[in-house]
Structure 1
Amino acid sequence: MNFLTFTFHSLWQKVASMFLNKLLHLRNRHFFFCDLILFLITPLLALILRLDGALPLKEYISDIGIATILFLTVKLTLFWSFGFYTRYWRYASIEELTYITMLILAAVIIQDLLFYISNYIPHLAMGKLPQSLPFIDGLLTFILIGGLRFSVRSVERTSHKQTILNPHERVLVVGAGSAGVSLVQEMQINPQLGFYPVAFIDDDPQKFNVNIRGIPVVGDRYYITDVVKYLQIHKVIIAMPSVAGQVIREIVDICQAHGIQTSTLPGIHEILNSPVRVDSIRDVRIEDLLRREPVQTDIQIVAQFLEGKKVLITGAGGSIGSELCRQICQCRPAEIMLLGHGENSVFNIQQELEKIVEAMKEDGNAQQYTPWISSLIADIRFKERLDHVFERFQPHVIFHAAAHKHVPLMELNSPEAITNNVIGTKNLLEMALRYDVPHFVMISTDKAVNPTNVMGASKRVAEMLVLQAARQSGKPYVAVRFGNVLGSRGSVVPTFKKQIAAGGPVKVTHPDICRYFMTIPEAVQLVLQAAVLGRSGEVLMMNMGKPVKIVDLAQELIRLSGYEVNKDIEIVFTGLRPGEKLFEELFIEGEEYEPTQHKKLLIVKNSSRTIPVNLNFIVDDLQRAAYRNDRNSIIFLLEQLIPEYKPKYSIAETNSLDSKKNASSYRAENFSLKEVY
């Protein structure tokens, strides 16, 4: 008996498996023939239901035949015309259900109208049939057509559950919002990815004990420890792209205290133009712990501003430049010109953008423009090369992100800071004016405020050049200031990571040193917003939030790497570097600030009135001093041009006497300066 039961059960499993497999592989041509059969029988079924099963066949056979042909024609015409047989029903959702409902509602209205009109046509009159027949037929059609389609979706879900008999990584998803639900949906659709979602954690009490896609919401973040223990969780994934960094830090601390593996989705700035996917999951980074409330960027205005335009981006291969390229590409400009000095970095971003453009072309909803990507290896210090670029490209908008930015290196190589940051900007502006470029946006820095180093001073001079060009042309040429960018090449975070990977120590210059930080995507979104809001001759400044102590940053990075501070990895203090300040400043004495339409952006409204009358003369002298590698003259000239510039000559202690001597002789020898002053 047991043998017969086992045999029958095995046979039933095989038959059911074959049926499910066949159902999953139904194509639209198969659905078409199934629908054809259903459309032929639904009018008759509707009539039987209307008459409670009492159907005098001879009395109704002629009328029901006409109604069947009429209804069949209406349904097939509607379904075919509106692309019903081009849908992929394996992943049918509420959108497809709404689509079916609207089509069948339209069919019922047309059928009812034709049913009424036919009574006035002798050979098509169906007077014996009840007036409710079109409605009942539509209801049956909805049930049968919808049931057939969504049975495929149901089988898909069932088959996925069966494949998880041997669970992979049991996952606890923190965040039951749209991002968390989308993440769980992809895990369920693709079990081969190796994730098995077990439960949700969410701080919203209204979601407690609710099931979302069959997954329960079991409590808030303070239940994580118990949930991990009782549900045998292998991994916690934080799916809250817009939550503040403080919340992320609390969740990470809870998980680290109990040795739980933690991952996260990127912040909202990083996934702004991308869907939430499993392959978006990554380890928790310092950017997540420092995350602020999301910047409310008016993407629509930025997209309208850039759509169809030719956009030139200098420093396109750099951290800010490459992110500018990515976000601008999504706005569908006519062409993007990638201009940079480093061939490898420009090549890499070009390849990345070409993939984005290919995805746009495959998008069925693609708008008029898919950007043309052009690359040019050039140095902005060479005016003749730039002239060729502008003559060929004729840009509408310039985003100037090319610059030397490392403070200690530029302090020791001041001629490079001048030729690149000052003369390069001057060359670009001359070309922009010559070729009548309507918009120019320069990326500046908070180090240009009351600078104590050559890099900050050179960027302050570059700001002045932009403001001067704006005054001359009346065009919206603007500069945008912001602080340090997390994760940019050569910045503090990658440096600390390398030191941690090497086993330490992590080197911090001073225990009290603080800096303002932004993520790269956040900074670029605000730059694009500034490009739209900026008027002629303005400096726009970003609200950087609260400064962060660098030593706290180092400690967080050590913990995120799985080590204990000063036990596994030591922190040592090395002293301030050349030109380095303890605290960065955001405001210059005498500048007047006012809010813009965007709460994260301020305008320096009197910035154009701070341009020295002798700017061009001193810049020319700076250029000559840089070509002579005359650092002392560069310092002297920057002091004359920027009253708030307070250089620290201690970086050249070995030749401090020579420095003073050369600076004095320069004052005496350069009579042109005396005349200008």
Structure 2
Amino acid sequence: MNMQNLKNRIYSGDNMVSLSDVRYLPRWVVLAIDVMILMTAVSGSFYLLEKLHVHSSEAVPNYTKYLLILVVNTIYMYIFKTYSGIIRHSTFIDLFKIMLANVLTGITLGILNIITFVITGNKLFLPTFLFIYFTISVTLLFMFRLFVKEFFHFARELRRTSLKKRILVLGIDEQAIAVARALLDNPSLPYHVAGFLTQRTDSKSAKLLGRPIYNRKKLESNTKDKLDADGILIIEEMMTKEEMNHWVNLFLEKDLEVFKSPPVQKLRDDIRSSIKNLQIEDLLNRKPIKIENEEVKRRHYDKAVLVTGGAGSIGSEIVRQVAIFNPSLIVVLDQAETPLYEVELEMREKYPHIRFKFVLADISNRHRIEPLFKKYRFSMVYHAAAYKHVPLVEENPHEGILVNTFGTKNIAALSSLYKVNRFVMVSTDKAVNPTNVMGASKRAAELLVQALQDVEGNTTKFITTRFGNVLGSNGSVIPHFKKQIEKGGPITITHPEIVRFFMTIPEACELVLQAGTMGSGGEIFVFDMGEPVKILDLARRMIKLSGLEPDVDIKIIYTGLRPGEKLFEELLSDGAKTLPTPHEKIMISKDPHMEFCDIETLVNRITKAALRRDKLEVVTLLKIIVPEFKSNNSVYETLDK
């Protein structure tokens, strides 16, 4: 903005003018200021000589000398255009031009001094005067430019800092200091490092990078305003999940935002995108299972692999992990067209060297599926295709049976018929003491798969994996809560006491792959899911991590348990025993078995009922197959009487 526009804004009533709006002063204004500085330098020089009792010749009046100095110096300043640069962006070249103009002024005045002395016998100026004038004028011109430059820098930083989030960096070790220094070296970032936070108590008076160090007691005994901080930055991989949860609970109590940063070695060039808000997943994650990569690789390298439900959350991650081991072929099967296409685009881009086949098909259609087994002769089958949403399957039990039970029968029977080496089924904790059709249909599938293991002539190893809710999966609670928070609420929870187990998608798939190498056939592998999480606590923490206040900014309302939903999920049935495995987090559940002829007869009957869309008969037969299935909050409760 030039001065005219600035004047127009002021006179129009817009008096909110930012320093960043003032682009530059007109050149004549800069020259006028410089001349005023020269006048000050001349006056100061005469004053100093007078105080030192040094008197020059009075043959020439002082005002003539005064005017002569200003004219000569101004001419040289004009010649070298010392006023043409933008002052707040002054460089060494600008300072050099000032020096040159003043040196030549001194030389010119010295020559005039000599000429005057030769002609009249009197000196215009004493050498002492010229030296003092040169020193004062150059110093003042330098200081003027330095002051303007620093003033604008300070104002700009002050403005930036006021718009930035003031954060405390958790930790005082080398990693924390390195990340803090990276933030300080990038003034364009929206974060201002206000200090450091540590568990130690011996750093009260010490400072790091010029910033204070606070200990935990200081944080506990002060409010957010007294600390003058908006948030905390946590360096990932520097603490256990237990320690992180311990700290985060305190931060959320103090209404502080929580940010996370990778270690400085992993900071990308774009630091802005490397620093993110801490997510609830970061607090729920545990140390993942360590896969025996050599064994897993041996089972997949140069082998043909089928993944059903390969476009879903679990199935697509299985595809990603299997692709790492360079199989000869991965057939990805799903009946969801758009998700399957998206997975195809991703896989062909990430793994161009792997041979893929993407098949759009329904696993309940055996005539569509069997040609795949006949053509590709799979070595491994990962069966992740299933309907999983409890209320929808409760409303449509016939569809749940056709996919979850009959579809599993198709894939498992074909695996046995075509001598697949290993069949690994993805099950759910909802299959344990089920209270809904979805869980019962998966338990029926478990019984069928286990029974197939003992059929005469079978060589396929049938393995089942059972785990709880998966973080970030399609339709799961955390993405649902995130959307509700983004919309401003409310968050809907079915019951204040409802709890669930959680694990990450990679963890779940590592379990599936590991189980495929560990099992000898007929096992149900269960994963130590840790402590269950109360959904209400989960919602409250998610709201706080978003920088909002539960029940103030985001309301929480209770909608009541949905049909078939229960408060607590289980991983083991009441009569099940567990056996250990080489992995302390993986156990084998010894659940009751059924003979194949018995389960096959019942599955054939329930499939016929499902094809007739006879909901009551479907659920009645399902309760015969799974005696522990007791409906909860459902229209099918009458069948239990």
TM-score for both structures, normalised by structure 2: 0.65
Letter in 1 for 2:342: N
Of 590, 608, 613, which aligns to 2:575? 590
Of 363, 386, 391, which aligns to 1:403? 386
1:320 alignment partner in structure 2:
314
Say whether residues 1:412 and 2:395 are aligned partners: yes
Say which SS state the counterpart of residue 553 (structure 2) adopts. coil
2:548 alignment partner in structure 1:
563
Write the deviation string for residues 520-577 of structure 1: whole angstroms up to 9, x where unpaired. 2222222222222122111111111111222222222222233322233332222221
Say whether residues 1:548 and 2:630 are aligned partners: no
Q: Report if aligned partners of 1:179, 1:240 keep a CA contact under 8 Å in 2.
A: no
Q: CA shift at 1:519, angstroms?
A: 2.0
Letter in 1 for 2:233: I
Report the CA distance shift for 1:171/1:511 in structure 2 as closer, same or farther (over 3 A).
closer
Of 430, 435, 440, which aligns to 1:457? 440
Q: Report if aligned partners of 1:440, 1:476 keep a CA contact under 8 Å in 2.
A: yes
Report the CA distance shift for 1:329/1:615 in structure 2 as closer, same or farther (over 3 A).
same
* Whole-angstrom distance in 2 between the partners of 1:260 and 1:534: 47
2:236 alignment partner in structure 1:
240
* Whole-angstrom distance in 1 between the partners of 2:187 and 2:328: 40
Q: CA shift at 1:648, angstroms?
A: 4.2
Letter in 2 for 1:622: I
1:444 alignment partner in structure 2:
427
Say which SS state the counterpart of residue 244 (structure 2) adopts. helix
Q: Report if aligned partners of 2:279, 2:545 keep a CA contact under 8 Å in 1.
A: yes
* Whole-angstrom distance in 1 between the partners of 2:331 and 2:167: 44
Say which SS state the counterpart of residue 391 (structure 2) adopts. helix
Q: CA shift at 1:449, angstroms?
A: 0.8
- Gap runs ≥5 in structure 2: 1-40, 42-76, 83-90, 97-155
Task: Report which of the two structures shows the higher radius of gyration computed on alpha carbons.
Answer: 2
Write the deviation string for residues 20-45 of structure 1: whole angstroms up to 9, x where unpaired. xxxxxxxxxxxxxxxxxxxxxxxxxx
Report the CA distance shift for 1:426/1:181 in structure 2 as closer, same or farther (over 3 A).
farther
Of 600, 604, 621, which aligns to 1:616? 600
1:342 alignment partner in structure 2:
336
Say which SS state the counterpart of residue 320 (structure 1) adopts. helix
* Whole-angstrom distance in 1 between the partners of 2:267 and 2:290: 19
RMSD (Å), alpha carbons: 4.3
Query: Larger RCO: Structure 1 or Structure 2 (Cα < 8 Å, ≥ 6 residues apart)?
Result: 2
2:609 alignment partner in structure 1:
625
Q: Report if aligned partners of 1:241, 1:265 keep a CA contact under 8 Å in 2.
A: no
Alignment of 1:369-384 (within 5 A): 370-384=353-367
Q: Report if aligned partners of 2:405, 2:444 keep a CA contact under 8 Å in 1.
A: yes
Report the CA distance shift for 1:562/1:475 in structure 2 as closer, same or farther (over 3 A).
same
Q: CA shift at 1:296, angstroms?
A: 3.7
Q: Report if aligned partners of 1:264, 1:283 keep a CA contact under 8 Å in 2.
A: yes
Q: CA shift at 1:638, angstroms?
A: 1.3
* Whole-angstrom distance in 2 between the partners of 1:395 and 1:206: 63
Say which SS state the counterpart of residue 454 (structure 2) adopts. helix
Report the CA distance shift for 1:276/1:299 in structure 2 as closer, same or farther (over 3 A).
farther
Alignment of 1:274-673 (within 5 A): 277=268, 278=271, 279=273, 281-357=275-351, 370-472=353-455, 473-605=458-590, 609-611=593-595, 613-648=597-632, 650-651=634-635
Q: Report if aligned partners of 1:182, 1:276 keep a CA contact under 8 Å in 2.
A: no
Report the CA distance shift for 1:449/1:394 in structure 2 as closer, same or farther (over 3 A).
same
- After TM superposition, the structure 1 stretch with the greater mean CA deviation from structure 2, 568-577 or 461-470, is 568-577
- After TM superposition, the structure 1 stretch with the greater mean CA deviation from structure 2, 618-627 or 381-390, is 381-390
Report the CA distance shift for 1:172/1:650 in structure 2 as closer, same or farther (over 3 A).
closer
Letter in 2 for 1:575: G
* Whole-angstrom distance in 1 between the partners of 2:495 and 2:228: 44
Report the CA distance shift for 1:590/1:233 in structure 2 as closer, same or farther (over 3 A).
closer
Q: Report if aligned partners of 1:635, 1:647 keep a CA contact under 8 Å in 2.
A: no
Letter in 2 for 1:437: V
Q: CA shift at 1:315, angstroms?
A: 1.2
Q: Report if aligned partners of 1:176, 1:217 keep a CA contact under 8 Å in 2.
A: no
Q: Report if aligned partners of 1:449, 1:587 keep a CA contact under 8 Å in 2.
A: yes
Q: CA shift at 1:643, angstroms?
A: 1.8
Report the CA distance shift for 1:507/1:589 in structure 2 as closer, same or farther (over 3 A).
same
* Whole-angstrom distance in 2 between the partners of 1:13 and 1:329: 63
Write the deviation string for residues 104-150 of structure 1: whole angstroms up to 9, x where unpaired. xxxxxxxxxxxxxxxxxxxxxxxxxxxxxxxxxxxxxxxxxxxxxxx
Q: Report if aligned partners of 1:175, 1:240 keep a CA contact under 8 Å in 2.
A: no
Q: Report if aligned partners of 1:179, 1:241 keep a CA contact under 8 Å in 2.
A: no
Q: Report if aligned partners of 1:474, 1:536 keep a CA contact under 8 Å in 2.
A: no
Report the CA distance shift for 1:610/1:221 in structure 2 as closer, same or farther (over 3 A).
farther
* Whole-angstrom distance in 2 between the partners of 1:188 and 1:432: 60
Q: CA shift at 1:280, angstroms?
A: 5.0
* Whole-angstrom distance in 2 between the partners of 1:584 and 1:629: 29
Report the CA distance shift for 1:211/1:375 in structure 2 as closer, same or farther (over 3 A).
farther
Q: CA shift at 1:462, angstroms?
A: 0.9
Equivalent pairs counted in the alignment come to 488
Identity across aligned pairs (percent)? Answer: 37
Q: CA shift at 1:288, angstroms?
A: 2.0
* Whole-angstrom distance in 1 between the partners of 2:356 and 2:541: 39
2:106 alignment partner in structure 1:
none
Q: Report if aligned partners of 2:306, 2:378 keep a CA contact under 8 Å in 1.
A: yes
Q: CA shift at 1:454, angstroms?
A: 0.8
- Gap runs ≥5 in structure 1: 15-164, 269-273, 359-369, 664-677
Letter in 1 for 2:453: A
Say which SS state the counterpart of residue 479 (structure 1) adopts. strand
Report the CA distance shift for 1:546/1:260 in structure 2 as closer, same or farther (over 3 A).
closer
Q: CA shift at 1:597, angstroms?
A: 0.6
* Whole-angstrom distance in 1 between the partners of 2:487 and 2:241: 27
Q: Report if aligned partners of 2:257, 2:546 keep a CA contact under 8 Å in 1.
A: no
Say which SS state the counterpart of residue 444 (structure 1) adopts. strand
Alignment of 1:76-225 (within 5 A): 173-174=169-170
Report the CA distance shift for 1:507/1:602 in structure 2 as closer, same or farther (over 3 A).
same
Report the CA distance shift for 1:576/1:257 in structure 2 as closer, same or farther (over 3 A).
closer
Q: CA shift at 1:646, angstroms?
A: 1.5
* Whole-angstrom distance in 1 between the partners of 2:171 and 2:517: 34
Letter in 2 for 1:646: K
- After TM superposition, the structure 1 stretch with the greater mean CA deviation from structure 2, 379-388 or 496-505, is 496-505
Q: CA shift at 1:637, angstroms?
A: 1.1
Say which SS state the counterpart of residue 445 (structure 2) adopts. helix
